[in-house]
Amino acid sequence: MSKVRTETTIQQRALIIQAWEGDENGSKTPKEISDFFKLNYKTVWRIIDRYRKTKTICNTPGRGRKSIFNTREKRSILKTVKVNPRASAVDIANSAEIDLGKKASPKTIRRILNEDGLKNFRAKKKPFISKRNIKKRMDFAKEHIHKDQSFWNKVLWSDESKFNVFGSDGRIRVWRKTNEALKMKNLNPTVKHGGGSVMVWGCFSSAGPGNMEFVETTMNQHIYQDILNGNVKSSAAKLALGRRYIFQQDNDPKHTAKSTWAFFKKNKMTVLDWPPQSPDLNPIEHLWDHIEREIRKTPIPNKTELQKRIIEAWNATSPEVTGHLVDSMNRRCTAVLEAKGGPTRY
């Protein structure tokens, strides 16, 4: 096996040239310099020879191992990633071998992508948003962006969420630039309630958490109405929202069924007109995230323990946490407008 050559430093080269040029006491020969610095004679001679010809001790441009791919071929590799951000470095290397006739390691592919500012990130989970619902999101944001904070403080936010006993869903990684996390092609589209063993309905306002209830069976419009009947008014009273509170829910079919709207009318409940596919506008999504972080501080062995921890975390949630979430509504509306109705960082 051949010995790896170690390159001399700029400082070493400077000392060699200084010794070769000499001073009032004279100069040294390449052999004397080689012996003094304990360097190979040919190494010393090459440094001096290069200095004679170029008057520099720095490396000349173009030195080092040449790239296996030329500029056009690198553009082809980058185009592959732009078309399919989910392609792995191994897949891209295999594709390059077939299309370009050049074999490269995944490490080489990653280096080419990194040079263009592309890094491998986990795809963010965001719901797919249709063009029709993009417009509805824009309309909602325009209508509510200038609402006073007192308006949002009257809202009773509600939602269902599922919690897993063990871990969570798999992750997908994509090649993207730092500021391109929310582009549709870089997202990991999700469908709500995609797994888990415990479903929870809950509500809250800026004043704190309201009631929370476990759903032990498949929820339909009638079970949903029973939950509302047993929890909404008592939560509004608990949180001192007064009689003119506003109830918020998403557009799940059981929430928008005719019988559910009849329930709202019968109970004289004002319901916020909510845009579809908009969990990023609903601060309760971040409340669920807060509960998730609290219950995962130690492993959860079973469903009973999971329910116990959810109850403890829910009851321990402070008004500071819920107030901060509701205070973000104007920022959320602004983010929707800036994203032109598309997904936001929320």
pLDDT in tens, 172-200: 667 788 888 888 777 765 534 433 579 99
Residue 216 and residue 329 share a domain = yes
Instruction: Provide the sign of the torsion angle of the four alpha carbons 110, 113, 119, 121, taken in this order.
Output: negative
The whole-number average pLDDT for the span 212-228 is: 95
- Higher confidence at residue 211 or residue 100? 211
pLDDT in tens, 147-178: 999 999 999 999 999 998 875 544 566 778 88
- pTM metric for this prediction: 0.63
DSSP labels for 157-176?
A: EEEEEEE-SS------EEEE
Residue 198 DSSP class: E
The predicted structure's pLDDT at residue 25: 79
Taking the C-alpha atoms of residue 271 and residue 163, their distance in angstroms, rounded to an integer, is 27
Per DSSP, the three-state class of 301 is coil
Let me know if residue 61 belongs to a domain. Answer: no
Let me know if residue 5 belongs to a domain. Answer: no
**What is the rounded average pLDDT for all residues in the chain?**
88
Taking the C-alpha atoms of residue 201 and residue 216, their distance in angstroms, rounded to an integer, is 11
Let me know if residue 126 belongs to a domain. Answer: no
Let me know if residue 196 belongs to a domain. Answer: yes
The whole-number average pLDDT for the span 55-72 is: 79
CB 346 within 8 Å of CB 281:
yes
For residue 209, the surrounding DSSP H or E stretch is strand 208-215
The whole-number average pLDDT for the span 297-310 is: 90
With pLDDT > 90 as the criterion, what percentage of the chain qualifies?
Answer: 59
Angle between helices 41-54 and 30-37 (to 10 degrees): 130
Residue 149 and residue 81 share a domain = no
- Give the residue numbers spanning the domain of 266: 131-339
Let me know if residue 97 belongs to a domain. Answer: yes
- Higher confidence at residue 179 or residue 127? 179
Let me know if residue 123 belongs to a domain. Answer: no
The predicted structure's pLDDT at residue 191: 39
pLDDT higher than threshold 80 for residue 279: yes
Residue 137 and residue 41 share a domain = no
- Assigned token pair, 140: 């909602």
pLDDT in tens, 17-59: 999 988 877 888 999 999 988 899 999 999 999 898 888 888 7
Residue 283 — pLDDT band, cuts 50, 70, 90? very high
Task: List the end-to-end C-alpha distance of the chain, in Å, as a whole number.
Answer: 56
The whole-number average pLDDT for the span 321-330 is: 97
